[in-house]
Structure 1
Amino acid sequence: MKKLLVAILVIFTITTHQSNAQSVFDQVNDPYFGESCTSILVGKKATTDGSVITSHTCDGKYRTWLQVEKGQKFEKDTSLEIYKGSLKTETAWDRRNMTVVGTIPQAKETYTYLNTAYPCLNEKQLAIGETTIVGPKELVNDNGMFLIEELERIALQRCATAREAIDLIGKLIKEYGYGDWGECITIADKNEVWQLEIFGEGPDKIGGVWAAQRIPDNHVGVSANISRIGVIDQKNKDYFKYSENVFSVAKELGRWDGQEEFKFWKAYGKVEKPFKIREFFILNALAPSLHLDFEAAELPFSVKPDRKVSVHDVIALYRETYEGTVYDMTQNLNVLRKKYNEEKEEIGVDTITALNAHPWPNGDNRKLYNYLEEGSVEYQRTVAVSWCSYSHIIQLRDWLPDEIGGRAWFSFDNPGQSPRIPIYSGTTELPESFQFCGQQRYRNDAAIWQYRKANKLATLQWQTTRKEMMEEVAYFEEKGFNEAAILETQIQKLLKEGKTEEAKVILNKYTRDFTGATMLRWKELENEYWGRFGMGF
């Protein structure tokens, strides 16, 4: 009886808490909430179509507004302001809690780029994903000018290739200082993809340490909040880049004795080994023949997949919650259901997964389940999480004009539930609702809430809503790829005729119309779920 009363009290507390608009962020109280963001990288010879892929989930309470920043030319010498505090603003014109920390010389010309919380794609088919890899506090220098999102912004404004971006970022860090925690950015262009990991070099040092390793063209890699770069092959300039102080700083700070083999992740990563569940699951899923061992001390930095990887495969990996494996968090959430014959006579019972069981239980729910039955839910950090702000999978294709060669499959909210919207590197305008962030409060004008409401309602009875929601996700995925072939042929024809501006107008309208179709369907799902669950039955 005592357990039952406590359970009722906990349920009441959860229900009351979830009436608050902030309930979608109750995961921030989880000790695992800091494990944010996942990036999957695929080389051009590892993909089915020859594209290069990088990607990103922005997991956490980060801004969800995005817009296209137009490239500019500057005739006179001007300065570019560098900011801190841009990740939590509510609109592009919101300057609350933003601080100008310095300036650098402006470039004579900048490229148009897609300005997400972590800027991600420019008009030259340069793309960037991001994951925070934290590292030890002793490396952080709060006085360094650059946070990672600003380095990404400047790289996209000024660079056309991954190598150019790495070199520029290294130069900026050395001259102006890195002021962030450990970060990994996965930088790709039309030909190759690199993993760049950056740390500070201490609270009193304006600078930073970094290493970049190229994913072989026939390999796939993953970054999921853990430093992954190991041995730096100093002779192989085609696959490794690094700051000139990468070894000396490790010695000075006592993070490497100079005798044992130097491994970047061991010197700077503050981790026991360079992988956890997400790295293991993704690499093992793509290369099962390697029989990777989760208990191993180290996994390969990248692997050759057993078969070539399509962008559909990467999109599917971003929906992963490990269903059907030993890591499935719903595997013990079962109930008994009575069985009846045609005469409606009870003939026994079946064990089924509880209809409200879903793979994104918050901390309170996990505590409740484990209180009622110890060991019911063992937390696993899934690839798809309910606290995702947005995510993208970006393809870069050297056989197409830049305007359509770069293609971001963009999604708001939980990537395990939401549809993906195509945004091209030649897109110059986005739907109006993309200009508003929905993370500070409920805003009906913010795009994310057009998906989040149905997504949250669906989890009330996920075992009955999942099939229909996934059918809608699959429908829009197929629609996007089928229409892309027609759209891209049309755009190529216009570009050959010199009608570049007309081509961009069509790209803008296509993204707008595709977005509108997904929002309309998710609104219909929301209404359907309110009708189904709103009375509390």
Structure 2
Amino acid sequence: MKKTFLLALMSFSIALQFTHAQGVLEQKNDPFFGESCTSIMVGKKATTDGSVITSHTCDGRYRTWLTIENAQKFDKKATHKVYKGTLKTETAWDQRNVKLVGEIDEAKSTFAYLNTAYPCLNEKQLAIGETTIVGPEELVNDKGMFLIEELERIALQRCTTARDAIKLIGKLIKKHGYGDWGECITIADKKEVWQLEIFGEGPDKIGGVWAAQRIPDDHVGISANISRIGKLDLKNDDYFMASDNVFDAAKRLKRWDGKKEFKFWEVYGGVEKPFNIREFFVLSHFAPSLNLDYDAKELPFSVKPEKKISVNDVMAMYRETYEGTKYDMTQNLKVIKKKYNDKKEVIGQDTVIAPNAHPWPTGNTRNLSNFLKEGTIEYQRTVAVSWCSYSFVTQLRDWLPDEVGGVAWFSFDNPGQSPRIPIYAGSTELPEAFNYCGQKRFRADAAIWAYRKANKLATVAWQTTREEMMADVAHFESKGLEDGAVLENKISKLIEAGQKDEARQLLNQYTRDFTGATMLRWKELENKYWGKFGLGF
């Protein structure tokens, strides 16, 4: 009787995926503090079409509103205001808990950019991904002016290349101070992609330390919340850059004796090794013959993929939950399925994955499963997580006009379930529903809830809904790429003819139409799953 009750309770607990209970991952005492983003980078010679790719999952309760900020011109006396607190606002005009912390000289002119929680793409095909790498608390100095999102914003407003962005960020940190935890931003342009890691210098020093390493053009790399930059060959400035204090600060902070081999991740990262499950899985997936060892002290910073990587491949990696591997969290969640003949007599049985098993169990679900049988679910930090705010995969292509050469394949909520919407670098407007964040509360006008409701309902019986939902994801992915090729050709001709305004209007309309189609389909799925599961399953 007790076991029957507990099994019923287990089913109910899994159904509680309706709630946003999983992983704030933002508090220092949380065991998974900092495991909040994933960025995959691909060099132009490693992609199937010659594009450069960077990407980002914003995992946590960060804002989901986004806007296009227009290019501007300023007079010589103008200043740029620097804020803290913008990551948790509900709209662009919500100033609650937003604090002005300083001002710097404004540029004469700025570029338009896509203003996500962590700003990500400008009109000149400069793109940035982000992952928090935390680092030792003693390096943090919250008196520094800049948080990482503000550094990204200024770089996108003022720069056209990854190298210039890194140099500008370095100058700003040195002059005004870095006030954030350890951060990595993956900066790409039409030619190359770099990984930049930044830390503070401790509470007694306004400034910061940083190092940047370029992903070779024929390689793929990943940052997933752990510092990964190792040896610094600063004589090779085509692949390495660093702050001028990178070695001296390490000695002053007593993190390096000046004799031991200097590895950036070891000195500043405060970790035992520069990788965990996500880094290992992604690099192993693209270069399986390397036979990478999860128990190794260190993995390669990047690897040469055995096959050229398409943007579809990167999108697929962001849906990854390790299904079919030893890291699959559903592998032990099984039930017996009986077979019947025409007379409804049992003629056999199979052991199958339980219909309600899915790869995003809450802590309560894991605890209950492991209470029933120890070791049933061993937690693994999957690439796709249910607590994702938004994600994007950005392509940068130098053979196309900037307006369509840069495209952010954007999705709300769980990247393992949601469709991706193309937002081009030349866009000037976004759909109305993108103006509202749905993370503080349920808002019917916030775009994220157009997807989240169906996504959460689907997990009630994921083994029965997954095939349909993934078919719809694949449909919109193919549609975006196929229709996008036609659109890009049309936009290129308009730009060549000097009709830039018409080109931008067409881009805006395309994103609105594509968004509307995905929202409509996910509403149909929501209604279908309510009908299917509303009275139980």
For normalisation by structure 1, the TM-score amounts to: 0.97
Match of 2:515 in 1: 515
Whole-Å separation in 2 of the counterparts to 1:18 and 1:304 = 38
Match of 1:269 in 2: 269
How big is the shift at 1:342?
3.5
Which residue identity lines up with residue 476 of structure 2 in the other structure? F
How big is the shift at 1:75?
2.5
5 Å-filtered alignment, 1:61-100, equals 61-100=61-100
Higher mean C-alpha deviation, range 254-263 or range 524-533: 254-263
Match of 1:32 in 2: 32
5 Å-filtered alignment, 1:191-270, equals 191-270=191-270
Whole-Å separation in 1 of the counterparts to 2:164 and 2:266 = 27
Match of 1:380 in 2: 380
How big is the shift at 1:18?
6.6
Residues 1:12 and 1:526: Cα distance change in structure 2 (over 3 Å)? closer
Whole-Å separation in 2 of the counterparts to 1:213 and 1:63 = 29
Which digits, 9 at most, give the CA deviation of each residue in 1:30-73, with x for residues without a partner?
63253110000000000000000000000000000000000100
SS at match of 1:283: helix
Whole-Å separation in 1 of the counterparts to 2:419 and 2:474 = 8
The question of 1:369 aligning with 2:365 is answered no
Residues 1:13 and 1:400: Cα distance change in structure 2 (over 3 Å)? closer
Which digits, 9 at most, give the CA deviation of each residue in 1:190-242, with x for residues without a partner?
00000000000010111000000000000010000000000000210110000
SS at match of 1:531: helix
Which residue identity lines up with residue 273 of structure 1 in the other structure? K
Whole-Å separation in 1 of the counterparts to 2:191 and 2:121 = 15
5 Å-filtered alignment, 1:340-359, equals 340-359=340-359
Which residue identity lines up with residue 219 of structure 1 in the other structure? H
Higher mean C-alpha deviation, range 26-35 or range 350-359: 26-35
Which digits, 9 at most, give the CA deviation of each residue in 1:103-142, with x for residues without a partner?
0011000000000000000000000000000000110001
How big is the shift at 1:348?
1.9
Match of 1:179 in 2: 179
Whole-Å separation in 2 of the counterparts to 1:348 and 1:231 = 60
Which residue identity lines up with residue 510 of structure 1 in the other structure? Y
Whole-Å separation in 1 of the counterparts to 2:17 and 2:384 = 21
How big is the shift at 1:155?
0.2
SS at match of 2:398: coil
Which residue identity lines up with residue 336 of structure 1 in the other structure? I
Match of 1:120 in 2: 120
8 A Cα contact 2:82 2:103, kept in partner: yes
SS at match of 1:44: coil
Match of 1:494 in 2: 494
Whole-Å separation in 2 of the counterparts to 1:191 and 1:277 = 29
Match of 2:288 in 1: 288
How big is the shift at 1:28?
2.8
Which residue identity lines up with residue 332 of structure 1 in the other structure? N
Which residue identity lines up with residue 370 of structure 1 in the other structure? N
SS at match of 1:24: coil
How big is the shift at 1:100?
0.2
How big is the shift at 1:252?
1.1
Whole-Å separation in 1 of the counterparts to 2:168 and 2:44 = 24
Whole-Å separation in 1 of the counterparts to 2:309 and 2:21 = 33
Q: Percent identity?
A: 73
Match of 1:397 in 2: 397
Residues 1:531 and 1:320: Cα distance change in structure 2 (over 3 Å)? same
Residues 1:201 and 1:9: Cα distance change in structure 2 (over 3 Å)? same
How big is the shift at 1:338?
1.1
8 A Cα contact 1:32 1:381, kept in partner: no
8 A Cα contact 2:66 2:114, kept in partner: yes
What RMSD in Å do the two structures reach over aligned CA positions? 1.4
Which digits, 9 at most, give the CA deviation of each residue in 1:126-180, with x for residues without a partner?
0000000000011000100000000000000000000000000000000000000
Match of 1:152 in 2: 152
Which digits, 9 at most, give the CA deviation of each residue in 1:374-418, with x for residues without a partner?
100000000000000000000000001100000110000000000
8 A Cα contact 2:166 2:196, kept in partner: yes
Instruction: Give ranges in structure 2 of 5+ residues lacking alignment.
Output: none
Residues 1:5 and 1:483: Cα distance change in structure 2 (over 3 Å)? closer
Whole-Å separation in 1 of the counterparts to 2:482 and 2:342 = 45
Residues 1:10 and 1:34: Cα distance change in structure 2 (over 3 Å)? farther
Size of the aligned set, in residue pairs, is 533
Whole-Å separation in 2 of the counterparts to 1:245 and 1:163 = 19
5 Å-filtered alignment, 1:401-420, equals 401-420=401-420
Match of 1:506 in 2: 506
Match of 2:140 in 1: 140
Which residue identity lines up with residue 426 of structure 1 in the other structure? G
For normalisation by structure 2, the TM-score amounts to: 0.97
Whole-Å separation in 1 of the counterparts to 2:527 and 2:33 = 31
Residues 1:8 and 1:348: Cα distance change in structure 2 (over 3 Å)? closer
How big is the shift at 1:523?
0.1
8 A Cα contact 1:25 1:61, kept in partner: no
Which residue identity lines up with residue 105 of structure 2 in the other structure? P
SS at match of 2:506: helix
Which residue identity lines up with residue 24 of structure 1 in the other structure? H
Which digits, 9 at most, give the CA deviation of each residue in 1:296-332, with x for residues without a partner?
1100000000011110100000000000000000000
Runs of 4+ in 1 over 4 A off after TM superposition: 1-15
Which digits, 9 at most, give the CA deviation of each residue in 1:330-353, with x for residues without a partner?
000000111112443211221010
SS at match of 1:320: coil
8 A Cα contact 2:126 2:187, kept in partner: yes
Residues 1:130 and 1:468: Cα distance change in structure 2 (over 3 Å)? same
Which residue identity lines up with residue 283 of structure 1 in the other structure? L
Whole-Å separation in 2 of the counterparts to 1:12 and 1:455 = 17
Which residue identity lines up with residue 533 of structure 2 in the other structure? F
Whole-Å separation in 2 of the counterparts to 1:478 and 1:147 = 37
Which digits, 9 at most, give the CA deviation of each residue in 1:70-109, with x for residues without a partner?
0100133211110000000000000000000000011000
Whole-Å separation in 2 of the counterparts to 1:14 and 1:417 = 17
Match of 1:532 in 2: 532
Instruction: Give ranges in structure 1 of 5+ residues lacking alignment.
Output: none
How big is the shift at 1:450?
0.0
SS at match of 1:167: helix
Which residue identity lines up with residue 182 of structure 1 in the other structure? G
Whole-Å separation in 1 of the counterparts to 2:275 and 2:514 = 37
Whole-Å separation in 1 of the counterparts to 2:515 and 2:359 = 26
SS at match of 2:72: coil
SS at match of 2:447: coil
